[in-house]
Structure 1
Amino acid sequence: MEHLILTETSFFRLIGGSACNDEIQESYNGFISEVVSLCSNMLNPENTFFALSFAETELQFHDTLQTENTGNNRSIYVRKALSFVRKMLEYIGQIRSGQVHTPQVERRKEKKNSQPLQWTGNAIDLVEIIYGIHEMGCINNGEIPLKQLAPILYSFFGVETKDCYRFYTDIKRRKTISHTHFLEQMQERLNERIRRDEEAELKRR
């Protein structure tokens, strides 16, 4: 279970026995590394919080802290681990409240705030682009098959996967307009923009 990920480490096993100091030191370092890894990745903040909280409770009420001799090696490592876990819980709380920003949190915010692309033109126009890109060989050095490329670009533009070849057949059957009508319109619009920009630059000189 997710909340047991920290209490099932060798550190918890050794602090309950009669391990030597070197063994406890090594297992303590491993436990701290596990906590750091858990808090750094934090793919699921809730599971991280539950695991830390459970570990804190188990450390707080561990037998080594309930005896009068709290200065032995085991109790020292238990108190050190407890202190670190509490600091990490505080850190997690700050992240969840927005006081601390981590790369993972920022990426989740960006993903949440970003608007997906949506192709709002005609599907057959998108097929022109797909076939044009494929013929130019500018994706994966032209080694990606059309049947793989088309679904990827459909998904990228938020279009439900369609029968690409059927649209291509319609393109080949065109009589009143060019086979590459949309691509030619793109070329014309781009050239017109370049012309306007060049004229504007000349006026600023």
Structure 2
Amino acid sequence: MDFLILTNNDFFRLVNDGADARMITASVYNEFIKEVCAVCCAPPSERHHLVFTLAYIETELGSLHETHMIESPHANHIRKALSFVRRMLKYVQTQVPPLSTTQKSDIQTPPFRWTGSLVELVEIIYALDEIGCINDGQNDIKDLAAFFGAQFGLEIKVRNCYDAYLDMKRRKNESRTYFLDKLRERLNLRMQRDDAKELARR
């Protein structure tokens, strides 16, 4: 929205140029009011621009009002126009949230949180990267770390991810994938327990 739009009309031009008051007819004045109303019907996506537009014309009319005051034949028209613009600006401002306000509904909290260690998550990330089961392996560790971080509300920096991988490589045991080994062990135990429960029900 052009914030000068309310100055591109006969009413504002005549008042601003100090034209003969007889030229500012009721029709010219009403056309200006209609234009203000039309601008105020802007869609929600343009509401912030609308505030700037109304604030600009309010400033201009306010300056003209101070210049002409009572002795000018234009004073009554300017005063009425200024009063209307101010009322509309006040109304519009109640409909528009501050630019710096973040709506609570816009903030999305991840439904799941990673409560293990970073090294444990990195084991999974590197394993998935190595096996190539995401995007046919057409991605790198940085992409995967960013993805998993976003899912769990974490910021996983590439350097931290690589440092965790180096820690894994320094492990002295025969198997250096502690967490993946634990996952395999626990999942096998769960299936064994389920098998035992099924046998007990027979």
TM-score scaled by length of structure 1: 0.47
Could you say which structure has the larger radius of gyration?
2
